[in-house]
Amino acid sequence: MKRKLYTELAYVLGMLILPFGAALMTMADFGLSMIVAPAYILHSKVSQTFSFFTFGTAEYTLQAVLLIAMIAVIRKFRLSYLLSFVTAFFYGLLLDGYIAVLDGICWEPLYMRLTAYFIGLLLTAIGVAFFFRTYISPEVYELAVKEVSAKIRIPLSKFKTFYDCGSLAVSVIFSFAFFGLWHFEGIGWGTFFCALVNGWLIGMIDKIIGKFFEFKDGLKWRNFFE
């Protein structure tokens, strides 16, 4: 028998888990998720001049650009799309907070870095899976995948893999443009591995969650987000 889980709680879980996973992968230093790598590279470049431009700030800045691009592609606008930026803003704050806390831990041993990477990879997938189960506006990254895949009628997990590979290409372009040809800032074997398995991993976790939980609204807010 499935247990009931409120969709609003799924949003909270996604919000708490996803940036923690990204922060762990940052500490591992094997290469970030291709989703957040462009923001990290932008942060690395801009923060050389403006120290206040944190990783989290770069995240919601780029997500604002992606939101505008998504609206242009699907040719539709909803108030909930703007609320996705609010989610992105709080995600950025949490990401900076997690990094500040984790930075005090010694990550030099290889086993520590490997553990941080694979736990971070798993947590980011779990966080995204929870965001896909809520009606509350997720980050723009997840919103764009969900809306565009529905618009062009491609299965979510398949389009997610395509989107991840596109983000990887953007990361490489940013790295070369900002730091010189063949300099892979924030990109490593972990980035490429994540690009290959992330879509599949999210799909698998989503199926597992669906087997154990029945998602229902606890509040009458859905109409505000649809």
Q: Examine residue 13 and state whether it is found in any structural domain, yes or no.
A: yes
Angstrom distances, CA of residue 17 to CA of 2, 22, 125, 149: 22, 9, 9, 24
Q: Examine residue 157 and state whether it is found in any structural domain, yes or no.
A: yes
Angstrom distances, CA of residue 123 to CA of 25, 78, 131, 146: 10, 29, 12, 19
> Does residue 130 register a pLDDT over 80?
yes
Q: Examine residue 9 and state whether it is found in any structural domain, yes or no.
A: yes
Token pair for 176 = 């070369």
Report pLDDT for 49.
93
Number of domains the chain contains:
1
Higher pLDDT, 94 or 192: 94
> Does residue 35 register a pLDDT over 80?
yes
Under the banding of pLDDT at 50, 70 and 90, the label for residue 75 is confident
Q: Examine residue 226 and state whether it is found in any structural domain, yes or no.
A: no
Rounded mean pLDDT, 17-32: 94
Q: Examine residue 29 and state whether it is found in any structural domain, yes or no.
A: yes
Report the percentage of the chain scoring pLDDT > 90.
Answer: 57
Q: Examine residue 60 and state whether it is found in any structural domain, yes or no.
A: yes
Report pLDDT for 155.
82
Report pLDDT for 76.
85
Domain that holds residue 200: 3-215
> Does residue 8 register a pLDDT over 90?
yes
Q: Examine residue 224 and state whether it is found in any structural domain, yes or no.
A: no
**Which of 99-103, 123-127, 167-171 is predicted with the least confidence, judged by mean pLDDT?**
167-171
- In the chain, what is the straight-line distance between the N-terminal and C-terminal CA atoms, in Å? 30
Rounded mean pLDDT, 30-56: 92
Write down the mean pLDDT value for the chain.
90
> Does residue 226 register a pLDDT over 90?
no
Q: Examine residue 72 and state whether it is found in any structural domain, yes or no.
A: yes
